[in-house]
Structure formats: C-alpha cells, structure tokens
Amino acid sequence: MLKRIGVITRDCAGVNAALRALVRTASSHDLEVLGIIKGYDGLIDGNLVALDRRSVSGIINLGGTILKSARSERFLTEAGQQQALRTIGDHGLEALVVIGGNGSLSGAHLLATRHGIRVIGIPATIDNDVNGVDFCLGADTAVNVALDALDKIRDTATSLERIFVVEVMGRDCGYLAMKVALAGGCEDVLLPEQDFSLEEICQEIAAGNARGKVSWIVVVAEGRATAREVAAAITGLTGLETRIAVLGHIQRGGRPTAFDRILAARLGHAAVEYLLQGETDKCVSFKNDKIELVPLEIAIQPKKLKFESEYRLLKILS
C-alpha cells in the first residue's frame, strides 16, 4: 500500500479543483500528499509542501494553481533529473501525480520509463491537445472565457460595422479557435489543421459587403497565423477597415466552469485510485461518461483533430 505521493502542476482552470479531489481522495486512504512547488523546478530544488484536507479547502473555484508552476529547462538535463530523483528519494515519495499538458506529461513519461518512478498524469491544458484524451482540464473554461471576450467584441463589431480578427491561443491545435468561432457565431476561422485561402475569404467579405453585410468576426488560431497578418491581408485585398484583438493569457485564467470542476473531481479522484491499484505511466481520461487510462507514450504523441464538419456548420450558419 502506498504511504506518500507527490503532485506537480501546470496552471490552468480546474487544476486546483483536481488538487482538492486528489488530496481528499488520498486522505480517505490515509495516503499522504506532498505538493511540489513550481513544477519540475520544485522537484529539483526540493521545494515541497504537505497538503491535507484543510489545505485544499476554498480552492475549487480558483484559477491557476496554488502550487505555482514553471517551465523547467533544468529538468531536461541529466543533472536536473538526477537531482529530482534525489528529492523523490529524500522525501520518501513512492509515486507522483503530474497535472499538465504535453510538456508535463512528457516529463512524467520520462520519469516512469527512464527512472522507474510510478506516475499517473491528469491532462490539463487549454490547448486540449493531449492525444487520446477528449477533454483536458481547462479547455472548457478557456472556450468560455474567450467566448465572453468575443461576445463583447461583437457588440462593437455590430455597432461600428467593422471587421474584427480575433486571435486565440491553442499552440498548434485549433480546438479552442474552432469551438469559440462556432459558439460565437463567427463568419470564419483559420485553423492549423485546415487549408484556407485568404483571397477566397476576402472575396466573400467583399461580396457580403456589397450585399450590405457590414460586420464580420474572423477567428484565427495562434498556431496558424497572427491576427495582425490576417487583418492586414483583409484590408489590403478588400480596402475595408479592420481591427484586431489578441486574447492572450486571459484564456488560461479565470474561475473554472462547472464542466471543468466536475471533470477535475473525477480525474483527481481516479488518479489516486489508479495509483493505488498499481497503475503507472498512464494518464486518466474521461470518455463516454467513464474514466479510462491512456498510456503516456500515446498521450504525448501529436494529436490529430479534424474540424471539417464543425467548419462546414459554421459556414452554413454564418
């Protein structure tokens, strides 16, 4: 039976709720949890804090991570990994739960395969780009945060009869852009996963403008182009005035939606249960109303999403 585990986090909405679920599930099994401060850097530096039921109260609704986070260059080095292993040994950590996106889960996979550490991952990234996983923590909140911003932009787009190009995050994945564009009733969306012709988009805008359609919102995924480039091209090709909005990091913060909190509860709970059952080198995933395990080796591969049908729907409805 495990006695003590550690937990590492990245930041996005739902991570604190997952921590709460994990710590309280662990506590119900008399399993101690040490929180690692500032991600893999904290593991290298031995920066840990004991977490109990009380220390995770009042955090279910908080964005970010109470454990803080960092992108660790040092963990990519052999010396960094050896130091991390020393911390694991010194603190008697028998397993780790790693909450984060591809980078964090790759680190977890490395600890499991190269150094024999027991790990379970909880996918958490607004990019929703963890392979084999339908819903990463934080993605639903990010869609809703971006949608709220987009609705506000629409007020101005409609009132001033303008063309707006809105850039959303997502790294190389178009998930966030596609969902926001469809939910926001946007006229077009440029995704990393699909070809597009700016000339055709501009012809459509010009034809619509000639018919009296005066306001447009085009969403662009950061992995495809910048809002500035797209707006300049639209103005250049149509002569129409454009404005841009780059939503940026507001998309990663904010109070988690009910969906993300419930997902966090289920994944945080399941991560501990699976560790206790002896599972390792896998991440928990919620699919068809059930929790599944996805091998980390698969989870860290590039995710290939298809958006053709959602894109067709957007174009029919716009």
Show which residues are catalytic. 127
Q: Which is nearer to ligand F6P, 97 or 130 (CB)?
A: 130
Query: Measured from the CB atom, is 179 or 252 closer to ligand F6P?
Result: 252
Q: Does 169 bind ligand F6P (CB under 6 A)?
A: yes
Q: Is 107 near ligand F6P (CB under 6 A)?
A: no
Largest CA distance in the chain: 72
Among 4, 74, 171, 266, binds ligand F6P (CB under 6 A): 171
Which of 127, 188, 193, 281 forms a contact with ligand F6P (CB under 6 A)?
A: 127
8 Å CB contact between 128 and 174: no
Nearest Cα neighbor of 132 from 256, 297, 273 is: 297
Phi, psi of 136 (to 5 degrees): -90, 145
**Footprint (CB under 6 A) of ligand F6P, residues 191-230:** 222
CB crowding 179-199: b at 16 or more within 10 Å, else e: bbbbebebbbbbbbbeebebe
User: According to the binding rule CB under 6 A, does residue 136 interact with ligand F6P?
Assistant: no
Q: Which stretch binds ligand F6P (CB under 6 A): 122-130, 154-162, 179-187, 195-203?
A: 122-130
Give the closest residue to 299 by CA, choosing from 310, 284, 311, 315. Answer: 284
Question: What is the spatial distance between Cα 13 and Cα 15, in angstroms, rounded to a whole number?
Answer: 6
Comparing CB distances to ligand F6P, the nearer of 171 and 228 is: 171
Residues 64-103, mask of contacts with ligand F6P (x by CB under 6 A): -------------------------------------x--
Is the Cβ–Cβ distance between 18 and 256 less than 8 Å?
no
- The Cα–Cα gap between 315 and 182 comes to 9
SS3 category, 67:
coil
125 binds ligand F6P (CB under 6 A): yes
The 237-266 site mask, x for binding ligand F6P (CB under 6 A), equals ---------------x--------------
> Which positions lie near ligand F6P, rule CB under 6 A?
101, 125-127, 169-171, 222, 252
